[in-house]
Amino acid sequence: MTGRVALIGAGPGDPGLLTLRGAQLLREAEVLLYDALASDAIVALAPQTCERIYVGKRAGDHAMAQDDIEALAIARAREGRFVVRLKGGDPFVFGRGGEEAEALRAASIPFEVVPGISSALAAPAYAGIPLTHREFAASFTVLTGHEDPAKPASTLDWAKLADPKRTLVILMGTANLREIAEKLVANGLAATTPVAVVQDGTRPSQRTVLGTLATIARDVTTAKVAPPAVIVVGEVARLREQLRWFDTSPLFGKRVAITRAGEQSEGFARALLQRGAEPVLAPTIAILPPDDATAAERAIDVLASFAWLVFTSRNGVDAFFARLASRNADARAIGTVKVAAIGERSAERLRASGVIADVVPEAFVAEEVANAVIERAKPGDRVLLYRAQEARDVLPRMLGEAGLIVTIAAAYKTVVPAAPDFAEKIARAGVLTFTSASTVRGFADLLGGPDAATEAARGKCVACIGPITARAATNMGLIVDVVASRYTTAGLLDALDAHFAQHR
């Protein structure tokens, strides 16, 4: 039985620019053949069971020859498997996608082409350069700066390309930039024509060098610009300083370590990418079932006997509803029990499961949850705390002192995961974020103790989601630079923005 192949454009690097169709097919892939310019976040969309094969090409470093890539796609499809060929940018824009499609057609393999956003369009846009503008350019031309060396002569008409009313977008031309600039000047373009070279367009590592045809080769060498880079020649390049937007965020280009549990990092990482930062996933905790789930199970059996159900994290909410689902039950089991959530994230998780929290304090700490419940509860009310196995005792103590009857159910536990490359990830990061005291403790454990943790954090910005986390970090010996005033990841990002805006 013959399978099929999808030629998918991964876009220029920013995972948010992948098309919906591309994402859909990636999630169905049985074999993935991916290029060097496909971002890790996009490759990660393929199922865990998918066979991943790197076939990337860099200048002078080809993981696999083009003929072998085509033969491999055909062979896997003939096994009856769905093959995704993931290519940077757009498959049919200097991506040799046309050649691969021809090979598939010749082998009678069904295929589909999913366009991607080409770096020819995206890199200038992310650098603040419009390719057309009513005042400067009515057209643009995309060309290669690296023609097939086997051709007897260039097929590019430099006389026609040297048009001051047209924007030129040159891909794969960094190595030949001096020669390209000289040809354009020799064919009539003014040596003062503006040129922009955008390296790593749409990525947190994006850099833009501005110059003219007379200076750009030297400027790029001085700046040590390396491929992949897009060259923009024309008057529109003058608009860069006026229209730049992507690289203006205070967090742009920062490498930010996320230490929270891996399964909870996606939203935080996505928000960092939107602000131009590079997320470094370095979880210091993992969420597992508690050592003894008896109390958590028994509490659900007698749920109706409680006046209040209190969640101190979204992990507790997830654990609660997972146990309800295992009993073929849902939010209706809560009945008339009032529900308190420590913060917005826990409340959002509750709403997603069909429950609107009765209490969400303005400050997302245990003390404020206790005060809010005490204010509304009656003496003698029974309160169920569905929380982490190793949580602080401040909440049950305050509730008990107020005359409430407290039952603690250990719903989950946090452990330190195995991470052999953790120290390397932390070394790469310039910003360390901590979202709970347990992430701070896990950080030290993974590095070999408080002294090693303090040394690893030296010279880096340490940011904490709130005062309790900051206290744990300080007690560990870390110097805390940023503490969010709103105890959420959004609040932490805002605090980081403000910090780096002040230190520009």
Q: Does the pLDDT value for residue 499 go beyond 80? A: yes
**pLDDT band per the 50, 70, 90 thresholds, residue 393:** confident
Q: Does the pLDDT value for residue 3 go beyond 80? A: yes
* Cβ atoms within 10 Å, residue 152: 5
Backbone angles phi, psi at 383, to 5 degrees: -120, 130
- Residue range 324-353, pLDDT digits in tens: 999 999 999 999 999 999 888 899 999 999
Amino acid code (one letter) for 48: Q
* pLDDT for position 486: 87
Distance CA 206, CA 208 (A): 7
Strands 139-144 and 166-171: parallel
Q: List residues with catalytic annotation.
A: 35, 57
What is the arithmetic mean of pLDDT over 31-42? 90
Global pTM value? 0.78
Of 35-49, 237-251, 423-437, the range with the lowest mean pLDDT is 35-49
What interhelical angle do 314-326 and 294-301 show, nearest 10? Answer: 70
* Cβ atoms within 10 Å, residue 269: 18
* pLDDT for position 356: 95
- Residue range 428-439, pLDDT digits in tens: 999 999 999 999
- Residue range 139-163, pLDDT digits in tens: 999 999 987 666 766 789 999 999 9
Q: Which residues contact 309 (CB under 8 A, 6 or more apart)?
A: 303, 334, 337, 338, 339, 340, 383, 384, 386
Structure-block tokens of residue 146:
């690296």
Contact (CB, 8 A) for 100 and 70: yes
Per-position DSSP letters for 129-190, written without gaps between them? --S-BTTTBSEEEEEESS--TTSSS----HHHH--TTEEEEEES-GGGHHHHHHHHHHTT--
- Residue range 469-490, pLDDT digits in tens: 999 999 999 999 999 998 889 9
Nearest in space to 391 (alpha carbons), one of 413, 364, 415 = 413
Distance CA 473, CA 455 (A): 13
Give the position of tokens 């204010």.
375
Of 306-310, 332-336, 365-369, the range with the lowest mean pLDDT is 365-369
* pLDDT for position 53: 96
Mean pLDDT of the chain: 93
DSSP state of 215: T
Contact (CB, 8 A) for 446 and 475: no
Tally of CA atoms within 13 A in the half-sphere of 13 that contains its CB: 23
With pLDDT > 70 as the criterion, what percentage of the chain qualifies? 98
Give the position of tokens 């590019």.
156
What is the arithmetic mean of pLDDT over 283-294? 93
* pLDDT for position 96: 92
In the chain the domains, ranked by start, together with CATH numbers, are: 4-117 (3.40.1010.10), 121-246 (3.30.950.10), 255-285+417-502 (3.40.50.10090), 288-414 (3.40.50.10090)
Nearest in space to 395 (alpha carbons), one of 380, 407, 377 = 407
Give the position of tokens 């169920």.
384
In Å, how far are 305, 380, 384, 403, 481 from 338, measured between CA atoms? 11, 15, 10, 17, 38
* Cβ atoms within 10 Å, residue 487: 24
What interhelical angle do 344-352 and 314-326 show, nearest 10? Answer: 20
Number of H helices, E strands in the chain: 20, 22
* pLDDT for position 266: 84
Distance CA 318, CA 163 (A): 61
Q: Does the pLDDT value for residue 300 go beyond 80? A: yes
Structure-block tokens of residue 121:
């369009």
Q: Does the pLDDT value for residue 58 go beyond 70? A: no
- Residue range 315-325, pLDDT digits in tens: 999 999 999 99
Contact (CB, 8 A) for 327 and 300: yes
* pLDDT for position 494: 95
Length of the chain: 504
Q: Does the pLDDT value for residue 257 go beyond 70? A: yes
DSSP state of 249: S
Q: Does the pLDDT value for residue 207 go beyond 80? A: yes
* pLDDT for position 484: 95
Distance CA 452, CA 444 (A): 7
Give the position of tokens 């354009």.
184
Q: Does the pLDDT value for residue 276 go beyond 80? A: yes
With pLDDT > 90 as the criterion, what percentage of the chain qualifies? 83
Contact (CB, 8 A) for 495 and 483: yes
